[in-house]
Amino acid sequence: MAVTVHDAVAIDDAAIDAVHGILADLVGRGAALGWVEPPARGEVAELVDRVCAAARVGDGALQLAYADERLVGLGYWLRYARPTHRPHADLEKVAVAFEAQGLGIGRQLTVALVDSARAAGIEVLTLDARGDNEHALHLYRTLGFREYGRLPDFVAVGERRYDKVFYMIDFRG
């Protein structure tokens, strides 16, 4: 399977449907993506519109991964809005379709996001992840991110509790 990663500043309804399908399926399977229940299509469309608008003015980036012509993953970062935090951004989300996991697509997306943040002049790229998401945490460490904090039992999913882990990569040298 040949996978390509592209940045986007706008996507059509079919791609929004595909993004919604990926996110809803992963959340339904218990993925740590920030939702307890699968998001509605309208919520995903609003999110994509917001990210694309930020990307158009250099305040974010959206990366889409395709296997042939099928969307199989996405990721994005957004610059912090607070004036004192403007040189910095948060890698908000990386998601790979369940059936495409284990093929290095998450790594390709994350590398593309890190590269685009660096090229946009971001000084520090941060992210947070659920503490039980060991595959993602390992990936981030191998790409140069380092842990800078942890909130024990902060994420509540029903009766279960997970740590919220904070990572960063500093491009300032």
Per-residue pLDDT at 162:
95
113 touches 167 (CB < 8 A): no
Residue type, 36: V
Question: What is the C-alpha separation between 76 and 47, in angstroms, rounded?
Answer: 11
Question: What is the C-alpha separation between 99 and 143, in angstroms, rounded?
Answer: 24
Looking up residue 39, the CATH number of its domain turns out to be 3.40.630.30
Tokens 């890190």 label which residue?
114
Write down the pTM of the prediction. 0.95
| Each residue's pLDDT tens digit, 92-109 | 999 999 999 999 999 999
Per-residue pLDDT at 100:
96
Based on the structure, what is the number of domains in the chain? 1
Question: Burial letters for 77-112: b for 16+ Cβ neighbours within 10 Å, e otherwise?
Answer: bbbbeeeeeeebbbbbbbbbbeebbebebbebbbbb
Per-residue pLDDT at 2:
86
145 touches 91 (CB < 8 A): no
- Which residues of the chain fall below pLDDT 70? none
Per-residue pLDDT at 173:
83
What is the DSSP-derived secondary structure letter of residue 3? Answer: E
Long-range Cβ contacts of 81-87 (<8 Å, 24+ apart)? 87/121, 87/122, 87/123, 87/124
- Nearest Cα to Cα of residue 117 among 169, 53, 66, 166: 169
| Domain hosting residue 53, numbered range | 3-170
